[in-house]
Each structure stands twice: as structure tokens, then as C-alpha cells.
């Protein structure tokens, strides 16, 4: 029987790619705040605890992608929508015996490390914004629920996924992830053994000069990225120098 997968934020840039890429293999319930009957996307607002309780019944895995763009407005958006929504989701998952939540976290949870600094996925958080900080909070919500309850929690710190499958800045070439690599990575997270209770990982393609070491993911969860931003640019004769440069010294750079 196919695994039952709930996707939140399925109409967005990342959500729609993942919905497309995963719907053959899994029994997907695709949701977003805006329903889209033509695409098979049902309405689910992550701030509505009751709706979340209903939609998580019988699910094996939740792919939590929904996010209201917050422009670093903690009190107005990040806290009441994104943080609160994640809390409702973890609570409902616990009550309904969901096995794993995979959360679309971000490189901005550690974006204040300097360019050139080698960082490991277990290094301390260094959010570069209120946005990044709320990602840290939700990652730790996952840590708590995995330690305290039967829930497994995976946080993918996604690099840069612009939607047209190519990097648009010099900075992006260090953290870019292609659509097929992201789909593969999420499948690896879904299929990782059930006793793997908690995992943080960076989600990028196999970019030359990647900011993060992701090689160990091949052995740990079977992730073997096929794409590389530098090779893609070389194939189309674009030099990195021709792309917009980021003057900040921090890995999180400008919010693109």
C-alpha cells in the first residue's frame, strides 16, 4: 500500500514541485490556504487547529511547506501564522499517530555564519533574521516532539530554490538545489528508517564550492544529488561574475 502523505503549502513554488514529483509514488493529500480543485489541492489553513486535526487523520508523513511570507514581522505574521501553524501541526500529528514530519526549514537558520566559514549541520544556530529565527524555533519544536513523543522530525534547511530551476546570483550558486534533487532528497527523508527520530540537514545540489558538506547524506539516507550550479552555468556559458553579486559577508546574504 502507498504511504499516505499530507503536503501543506502545495500551491507554492516548492510545494507544487514536490506535489508533482511525489504524487505517483505516494498517496498524497495536497493542501494550501487557497484550494485549487483543478490541481487537486484542498483547502487547509495552518492556523486552523481543527482543520489540521481532521486532515492529519490516517497520515503516515507530513511534508510541511506552508509559509506566509513574513518580511521579518514577528508579531504580525511569523508568530501568529508560521510558528503557531507549526505548533498546531505537531500537536495534531502527535494525537493522530503520524510517523514523521518533514519541515521546509531554511539556510537562514544559520545564515549569520560568515562566507568562507566551514560549518557543520550540528553547529549552533545563527539565524540571520526573524524569518531564520522562526525556522530555528520550529526545528526545535521537532526536537521536542521527537524526544518526548513517538514522532520523527526531519528539518531540511533548504538552500535556494527559485522555481525556474536555475541559480540567479553568485550566492545562490553555493546553496542552489534543483527540482529533481529536491524531490529525491524529500523521498530519501520519507523513506529513512522509522527509528531515525530526528535529523537536521542542508538541502542543496552537488554544487562546486557548496557552503555545506552534504556528502555524508549518501550513506545516511541515500541522497545522491545529480545537479551542480557551476556545471549548469558553464553549460549555458554564463560566468558567475555575470550574476548579481552579494556584498554581505554572511552566508545568508540578502534575502532573495
Ligand X SMILES: O=C(O)[C@H]1O[C@@H](O)[C@H](O)[C@@H](O)[C@@H]1O
142 is a contact residue toward ligand NAD (CB under 6 A):
no
Contacts of 62 (CB under 8 A, 6+ apart): 5, 6, 7, 8, 56, 89, 93, 98, 100, 101, 102
Nearest CA-CA partner of 26 in 6, 41, 44, 56: 6
Residue 33 lies near ligand NAD (rule: CB under 6 A): yes
Q: Check binding of 256 to ligand X (CB under 6 A).
A: yes
Q: Which is nearer to ligand NAD, 4 or 64 (CB)?
A: 64
Q: How far is CA 242 from the centre of its chain?
A: 28
Partner in contact with 35, chosen from ligand X, ligand NAD, none, beta carbon below 5 to 8 Å by kind? none
Taking CB under 6 A as the criterion, which residues in 103-132 touch ligand NAD? 104, 106
Nearest-angstrom CA–CA distance, 163 and 14 = 7
Which of 131, 211, 212, 223 is catalytic? The answer is 131
Q: Is 131 a catalytic residue?
A: yes
CB of 50 to ligand NAD, least distance (A): 13
Q: Which of residues 158-187 bind ligand X (CB under 6 A)?
A: 160, 172
Using CB under 6 A as the binding rule, the residues of this chain from 100 to 129 that contact ligand X are 106-108
* Alpha-carbon distances of 221 from 153, 218, 224, rounded to whole Å: 14, 6, 9
3-state secondary structure of 87: helix
Q: Which residues pair with 152 in a beta bridge?
A: 100
Q: Decide: is 160 part of the binding site for ligand NAD (CB under 6 A).
A: yes
Query: How many Cβ atoms sit within 10 Å of the Cβ of residue 147?
Result: 11
For ligand NAD, the closer of residues 101 and 150 by Cβ is 101
68 binds, among ligand NAD, ligand X, none (CB under 5 to 8 A by kind): ligand NAD
**Binding stretches for ligand X (CB under 6 A):** 106-108, 160, 172, 256
Amino acid at each position: 500500500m502507498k504511504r499516505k502523505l499530507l503536503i501543506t503549502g502545495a500551491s507554492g513554488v516548492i510545494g507544487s514541485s514536490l506535489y508533482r514529483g511525489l504524487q505517483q509514488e505516494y498517496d498524497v493529500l495536497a493542501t494550501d490556504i487557497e484550494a485549487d480543485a483543478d490541481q487537486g489541492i484542498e483547502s487547509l489553513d495552518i492556523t486552523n487547529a481543527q482543520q489540521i486535526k481532521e486532515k492529519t487523520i490516517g497520515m503516515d508523513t507530513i511534508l510541511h511547506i506552508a509559509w506566509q511570507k513574513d518580511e521579518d514581522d514577528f508579531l504580525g505574521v511569523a508568530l501568529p501564522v508560521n510558528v503557531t501553524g507549526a505548533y498546531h501541526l505537531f500537536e495534531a500529528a502527535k494525537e493522530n499517530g503520524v510517523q514523521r514530519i518533514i519541515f521546509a526549514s531554511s539556510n537562514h537558520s544559520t545564515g549569520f555564519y560568515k562566507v568562507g566559514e566551514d560549518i557543520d549541520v550540528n553547529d549552533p544556530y545563527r539565524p540571520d533574521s526573524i524569518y531564520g529565527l522562526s525556522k530555528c524555533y520550529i526545528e526545535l519544536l521537532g526536537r521536542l516532539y521527537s524526544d518526548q513523543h513517538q514522532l520523527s522530525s526531519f528539518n531540511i534547511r533548504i538552500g535556494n530554490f527559485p522555481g525556474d530551476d536555475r541559480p540567479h546570483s553568485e550566492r545562490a550558486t553555493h546553496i542552489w538545489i534543483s527540482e529533481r534533487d529536491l524531490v529525491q532528497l524529500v523521498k530519501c527523508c520519507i523513506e529513512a528508517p522509522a527509528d531515525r527520530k530526528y535529523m537536521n540537514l542542508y538541502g542543496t545540489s552537488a554544487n562546486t564550492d557548496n557552503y555545506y558538506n552534504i556528502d555524508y547524506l549518501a550513506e545516511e539516507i541515500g541522497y545522491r544529488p545529480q545537479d551542480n550550479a557551476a556545471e549548469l552555468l558553464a553549460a549555458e556559458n554564463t560566468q558567475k561574475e555575470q550574476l548579481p553579486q552579494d556584498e554581505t559577508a554572511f552566508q545568508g546574504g540578502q534575502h532573495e
